[in-house]
Structures are given as structure tokens and as C-alpha cells.
Amino acid sequence: MRVLMIGAGGVGDAAARIAAERDFFEAWVVADHDVSRAERTVAAASGRREGESRFRAAQVDASDAAAVEALVREVGATHVLNAVDPRFVVPIFEGTRAGGADYLDMAMSLSRRHPEEPYAKVGVKLGDEQFAQAGEWEADGRLALVGIGVEPGLSDVFARYAADHLFSEIDELGTRDGANLVIRDEDGNEVFAPGFSMWTIIEECLNPPVVWEKDRAGEPDGGWSTLPPFSEPEVFEFPEGIGPVECVHVEHEEVLLMPRWVDAKKVTFKYGLGEEMITILRTLHTLGLDRTEPVTVKGVEVSPRDVVAAVLPDPLTIGPRMEGKTCAGLWVTGTGKDGQPRRTYLYHVSDNADTMREYDAQCVVWQTAVNPVVALELLSSGAWSGAGVLGPEAFDAVPFLDLLAAPKPAGYGSPWGLEDR
């Protein structure tokens, strides 16, 4: 396996550091628009293992499908791992297929809200542009494994596991994400600094969130509908000391992926944003600073959202000032295999103290990055295989969960949990 990873930000950097411990690939090319960032990641990954020589850096314009195709061919990539913002999904996705490689991403092609009824009807859904090309990928015998981060990704693996091993009937698959993370400045004061791309946070949190309901599957929108941002707040109790966190509806890929492969009556996603983040997002929207369309400032065209993202700390750099844990998980309700009512939370917790000590990577990006590396290893071994555009739910969950949790060096030494409530 020869991997081309596009993106050397926080998640890409963490993925390379994790991959350096594994033996399943022969080459790992790190490409970024800024080759110095790629070189930094290559140095960090190579330094984790004596004699490591499988990593090298390259430059690429991720917005140019032809440039992606050319680099795929130049480096002889068998698999392309997309580790950049979702606005670049389509050119990387199309450039990968044109170059003759398989593809993985952690976020899917962007949605566009319904022009007349954005808070009731779906427009272009997350991933629609990719699923529209599923036939071409399948005809080529190529695999596009979409949404294989942590959320989406591990949460979707949990959905497959719950359906196959825990439940005979599922009422709701509800992804629930929460944390007790704190970031401090040099003086020890708590400050605002998102754990991952602010561009992506604005995109997913201010778009109309999507829900799916089986009893509406026969309607024109196929069971999917939308709500206003931050709808239906609920307090969810997160494990391992995180405690209660208020969660709200957010647009996310799980709701677009899970119903395609897992039988459930309802699918939702709720995120523990916190009052401060919600207030900031509402303010950005009121001021128009969430816009992606360029505006002219003193003769220079700039995207307001790009400016907001640029003035905040790089998620790659905040690890030393972060403390706490983040939890990604799936709340499943329904009927167990024994015919009795069951309510189960399947989850994975990442502690910043652990990921900084072991990988020099903050826990939010590390928790996202580990999952595509696990998936690549399963594809390399043949434990996972397929063709077309497939989500994580399309594969057997057990090999993934076993490899993730198994102690090193056989596995990744990152256990997941299950609580019946």
C-alpha cells in the first residue's frame, strides 16, 4: 500500500504520527499547499521510529483535481487520504479516481440548503455529489470510503456493531459528542480556541441540521428533513468523568450515512457545543462573518469565514495548553437481541494528557486521525474490501473495533466502551 495523504494540518499531522508505528504500508506521502507544513509532518512522523524512511513531502493544490490526479500518478499512490477541509472534497475525490487510486475522507462534500424552506426541507445533502458518482467508482473497481474519521467514522462503525450484535430492532441511532476540554493562555486564563477547524465548525453548526425518520422514507426527500440550528437541546451524561453536557442538533454526515446501510426508525446527531460557542456562532452569523463569498476590503478580496479561521489559534498548536477529555459516541435505543428494551451508549474517550504524552498531538485531532489509519490497515490486510462509494457502516465492525482496542503493537491500544443505561 502506498498512501498519499493530502493535508498536513492537525488531523493530517496526527495521522502520520500514528501511522509511523505501523507496518502495513510501504510509502506515505504527505502533501500540502504549503510544502513546509508537509515537511514538518514528515520530520515528526519519521522521528518516531529509528530508521524510518517511508515518509516524504510533496506540494499540491487541493482545489485542482488535475493537480491531484498528477500527484497520485507521480507517487504511485494506491490510496488517497483526504485530510483537509470539506470544501476540497470534490476535487480530491475526482482527482483520486482519475489517477486510479482508492479514496478515504473524514468529511463529505458540502451541502446546500433548500432555497425556499431551509428549516424544513433538504437541498443538496452532505455527500450527494459523491454518491452521484458511486456507479463510476464501482465500474472502475475502486473504493471511496467516505466519512471515516471519528464522527463520522467510528460512530458509524458503532452503528453497524449495534445492529449486528446488540439490537434486534433500533428505534434511534443518535450520535452524541461532548467534552470537558479547557484551553488556557500563557497566564493560565481560560480562552476560546476551537479544537479543530473553525471553518468546518461554522459550516456544520450554522447549516440546517438534518434528521432522518423511517416513517417518512417514502416522501420526496427520502426521510430526511431539517431543523433550525441548535434545535432541541438535551442534557446528555458523558462517561469517564466528563459528566452532563447540553447537546443540540448539528448538521453531520452520520445522519446521511447510517440510514443507507443500517435499519433504524430515526437517526440524529447532537453536539455539546456549549453556551459560549453557540453565542459566538450566532454573533458571527449576525455580522455576516460566516460567509464564504469574498468581500472587498481596501481593494483586497477576502472571505469573512477565512478571516475568522485565520485569526484563531491553529488547532495543531493548542495541545500544550489544553486539558480534559473528549468523547465521541452513539446512543442507541430499541429492542435488544433478547427481546427486551435496551438503551446503550457506545463510545470512545480521548484524554489530552495521553495523546500529548504519546504523540504530541491534541486529543481532538488525534481521535479523528486514528480511525482512517485503522481503516487503511484493514484495507491493506483484506479484512475490509469493496468497490463504489461506501460508508463505514457497509463493513464488518468487529475487525475495526478489535484492531482499535487491541494493545500495542498488535493493535492501536485505544479501547472503546459500552454502557447500558
| Cα 223 from Cα 218, distance rounded (Å) | 7
At 261, the amino acid letter reads: W
**Nearest-5° Cα angle at 104, 101 to 107:** 140
How many other CB atoms sit within 10 Å of the CB of residue 104? 26
- pTM for this entry: 0.93
Per DSSP bridges, beta strands 182-183 and 322-323 are antiparallel
Domain parsing of the chain, residue ranges = 2-149+366-413, 154-365
**Residue 86 contacts residue 127 (beta carbons within 8 Å):** no
pLDDT value at residue 308: 86
Q: Number of H helices and number of E strands within the chain?
A: 14, 20
Distance CA 179, CA 349 (A): 9
Where helices occur in 194-253 by DSSP H, the ranges are: 198-206
How far is residue 406's CA from residue 189's CA, in Å, rounded to a whole number?
A: 38
Helix axes 352-359, 10-19, angle to 10 degrees: 60
Residue 156 · residue 375 · CB < 8 Å:
no
Express each pLDDT in 60-76 by its tens digit. Answer: 999 999 999 999 999 99
Considering Cα of 312, then 317, then 322, then 327, what sign does the dihedral take? positive
pLDDT of residue 257: 98
pLDDT at 26: 98
Closest listed residue to residue 345, CA positions, set 186, 172, 198, 94? 172
Cβ 38 vs Cβ 63: under 8 Å: no
Contact 84, 197 (CB under 8 A): no
Can you tell me the distance from the alpha carbon of 86 to that of 152, in angstroms, rounded to the nearest whole number? 13
CA 44 to chain centre: 22
Q: What is the secondary structure of 245-300 as a DSSP string? A: EEEEE---THHHHHHHHS--SEEEEEE---HHHHHHHHHHHHHTTT--S-EEETTE
- 354: Cβ–Cβ under 8 A, 6 or more apart, which residues? 363
Q: State the cell numbers at 386.
A: 469493496
Give which of 156, 160, 162, 158 is closest to 335, Cα–Cα.
162
Architecture of domain 154-365: 2-Layer Sandwich (3.30)
DSSP-assigned beta bridge partners for residue 347: 329, 417
Backbone angles phi, psi at 241, to 5 degrees: 85, -5
CATH of domain 2-149+366-413: 3.40.50.720
SS3 of 235, please?
strand
Amino acid at position 407, single letter: P
Report the C-alpha gap between 244 and 238 in whole angstroms. 6
Q: Kindly give the pairing relationship between strand 322-323 and strand 341-351.
A: unpaired
> pLDDT tens digits for 213-262?
999 999 989 999 999 988 999 999 999 999 999 999 999 999 999 999 99
Q: Do residues 3 and 26 lie in contact, with contact meaning Cβ atoms separated by under 8 Å? A: no
| The pLDDT value given to residue 196 | 66
CA nearest 182: which of 305, 248, 308, 274? Answer: 274
Residues of the chain with pLDDT under 50: none
Pairing of strands 300-302, 322-323: unpaired
Judge contact between 225 and 121, C-beta under 8 A: yes
Question: What is the C-alpha to C-alpha distance for residues 40 and 149, in angstroms, rounded to an integer?
Answer: 22
pLDDT at 97: 98
Q: Tell me if residue 326 falls in helix, strand or coil.
A: strand
Q: Can you give the pLDDT at residue 274? A: 77
Residue 225 is predicted with a pLDDT of: 96
CA separation for the pair 360, 72 (Å, rounded): 29
